[in-house]
Structure 1
Amino acid sequence: MLETYLINTNFVLLFVICLFYWLSAYDFLPVFFSHQWVLKNIGNSAILLSQIFQAIFLCVRWFTSHHFPLSNLYESLLFLSWLLTLLLFIINQKLKIPSSEFLIGSIIMPIILFINIFALFSLPSELKTSSALVPALQSNWLVMHVTVIILSYAALICGCLFSMAYLVLTRFVSQQEIETNLLTENQANQVLEPLPSSSNNKMQILNQTQIIHKAQPKQFMVVEQLMRLLDNLSYRTLGFGFPLLTIGLLSGSIWANQTWGSYWSWDPKETWALITWFVFAIYLHTRFSKGWNGHKSAVLATFGFFILCFCYLGVNLMGKGLHSYGFLN
């Protein structure tokens, strides 16, 4: 009963937070507040409250089941949701650009809300009830391996979402540049047409045209600053998640050897985890050695997001392989 109350209350709170960040990002809420820090404190306080609700739920689940709550898809999804809110809270504390936390919150909060919707309304009830661990999971490696893997997933998901938002802003800037260039040409033509062809008027025309073209980039200064922020955040969070994914794969191979007598058995989950590792290894390699950044890296990270989603959900939902326990079949 307590678990249901906590998770339902947190779901409502997450929905409100998501709506809050979307309205703030589109400047619907700031008009009612004279100071941006008021909205920032409201958002951070709500995220902190959600973390507390989720942490209490995980502790209650741990106490009732007598094992760390990561034995099935339901528990891992809610643990992932808690880690994503934690990362969002930490990132918001480090941001230096004014109002950028609203953009970051509007990017991460929808995926957190989607994870909770999927866990609460799509999974069968038998996965939501506490049960004893299967023999394969009765090991101290459960906390080490699964915790590190889910933490790496949270960091990689955040990095991929930032890259996807970067691509959206790139599209927005390109469209705005086309419209502004057309507007600038019309303004220049209006300046050029009515004046007679004297030397003084020609100098005046030239100066006015230069002013028009110099003022144009200022319209995109804020968007370009946010794009650089998203590219940097994507690189940093993916750079944080990749070593964790590596540690998770190594710890999983050691655990597999102790449980099944083999470090690597080419199980579908293991295979797709390796594919995921290679995709983000290529991402970091191209950043370091090839100097890729911006659009190219964002496209590669977006591709990695879909590979990661299939590795985490798709393989498990098929119910095949050695990692199918505690999941749908």
Structure 2
Amino acid sequence: MNLEILLANTSFVLLFLIMIFYWLQAVFCIIPKFQSVIFITTWCANLSLLSLLLTRWITYKHFPLSNLYESLIFLSWSFTLIELVFLYKNNKTGSNLIGTIISPIALFTNCFATFSLPKAMQKAQVLVPALQSNWLMMHVTVMMLSYTALLCGSLLAISFLIVTWKKQNSTIANTLDNLSYRILGIGFPLLTIGILSGAVWANEAWGSYWSWDPKETWAFITWLIFAIYLHIRITKGWKGRKPAILASCGFFIIWICYLGVNIVGSGLHSYGWVKL
């Protein structure tokens, strides 16, 4: 069996098991040492996804973030990385909440990349001149890490809104609110660095720092949404449902920026993506 296929199938099985384990832990609070099983499985999934990306890097001789398939695999890997960070910190409540909420989307992105995308889109192509740059590694990696953190924080905000639908204050609600704020606080600087590095790369490739390409426009909208969120949390001291609603809106804005623009539109960022 082809190594890529083996690694892709292995990562799918492991991600599915991780989701089941987290849900069992959340519903039944089973086996005190069950956390170790989750940690080992998550570590194996992370290693499997990383090996898949490295295999493609070695096979195709360029950084494996040049098309939709590779970016989705990287996104799935990044979600498992966040889960591992909280598991390693031994933050049981935080890791269980994050794992229960994030593991389904990690599985979904992996499934979409492996089983839904046409085989032609899963194959790496020769890079166009604009992508043959060291900026590819810097810009795209930072942007994908920012999407991961922002999606994670936004999902926690959505979960907070669900938990507080009738009951305003609870330990779980406060934990969700704090975790969402902390993770979004990491994602926003990464998004800022990603946009700035993209502007420098754009000037090098196309002779202009900013051209209001659809991707650039929606990246700016995404940045603005989370800039407002952090502003009202830090300077206004707002907590609870109002900032969570804004962060929840950001969840859908990110998906428009990441996938929607490339599926229904066209522009300078359409290389290796869907074009209709």
Classify the TM-score, shorter chain.
over 0.9
Give the counterpart of 2:130 among 114, 119, 136. Answer: 136
Alignment of 1:183-202 (within 5 A): none
- Give the structure 2 partner of residue 19 of structure 1: 20
1:66 alignment partner AA = K
- Give the structure 2 partner of residue 2 of structure 1: 3
- Cα pair 1:80 1:150 within 8 Å, conserved: yes
**2:176 maps to 1:230:** yes
2:246 alignment partner AA = L
- Give the structure 2 partner of residue 71 of structure 1: 66
- Give the structure 2 partner of residue 183 of structure 1: none
Count of residue pairs the alignment pairs up? 274
**2:206 maps to 1:260:** yes
**2:107 maps to 1:93:** no
Distance between the aligned counterparts of 1:118 and 1:303, measured in 2?
23
Distance between the aligned counterparts of 1:22 and 1:14, measured in 2?
12
- Cα pair 1:92 1:101 within 8 Å, conserved: yes
Task: After TM superposition, give the deviation of residue 255 of structure 1 in Å.
Answer: 0.5
SS of 1:127's partner is: helix
1:21 alignment partner AA = Y
Stretches (4+) displaced over 3 A: none
Task: After TM superposition, give the deviation of residue 172 of structure 1 in Å.
Answer: 5.3
- Give the structure 1 partner of residue 241 of structure 2: 295
- Give the structure 1 partner of residue 121 of structure 2: 127
- Residues 254 and 99 of structure 1: CA distance in aligned 2, closer, same or farther (over 3 Å): closer
Percent pairwise identity: 55
- Give the structure 2 partner of residue 242 of structure 1: 188
Distance between the aligned counterparts of 2:150 and 2:97, measured in 1?
18
- Give the structure 2 partner of residue 162 of structure 1: 156
- Cα pair 1:159 1:237 within 8 Å, conserved: yes
- Give the structure 2 partner of residue 205 of structure 1: none
1:74 alignment partner AA = Y
2:215 alignment partner AA = K
- Give the structure 2 partner of residue 80 of structure 1: 75
SS of 1:322's partner is: coil
SS of 1:171's partner is: coil
- Give the structure 1 partner of residue 108 of structure 2: 114
Task: After TM superposition, give the deviation of residue 317 of structure 1 in Å.
Answer: 1.2
Task: After TM superposition, give the deviation of residue 99 of structure 1 in Å.
Answer: 4.7
With normalisation by structure 2, the TM-score equals 0.96
**2:44 maps to 1:43:** no
Distance between the aligned counterparts of 2:251 and 2:242, measured in 1?
15
SS of 1:26's partner is: helix
2:189 alignment partner AA = P
- Cα pair 2:159 2:176 within 8 Å, conserved: yes
Task: After TM superposition, give the deviation of residue 157 of structure 1 in Å.
Answer: 0.8
Distance between the aligned counterparts of 1:66 and 1:116, measured in 2?
23
Structure 2: runs of 5+ lacking an equivalent: none
Which has the higher Rg, Structure 1 or Structure 2?
A: 1
RMSD of aligned Cα (Å)? 1.4
Structure 1, 285-294 or 63-72: larger mean CA deviation: 285-294
Task: After TM superposition, give the deviation of residue 102 of structure 1 in Å.
Answer: 2.6
1:23 alignment partner AA = L
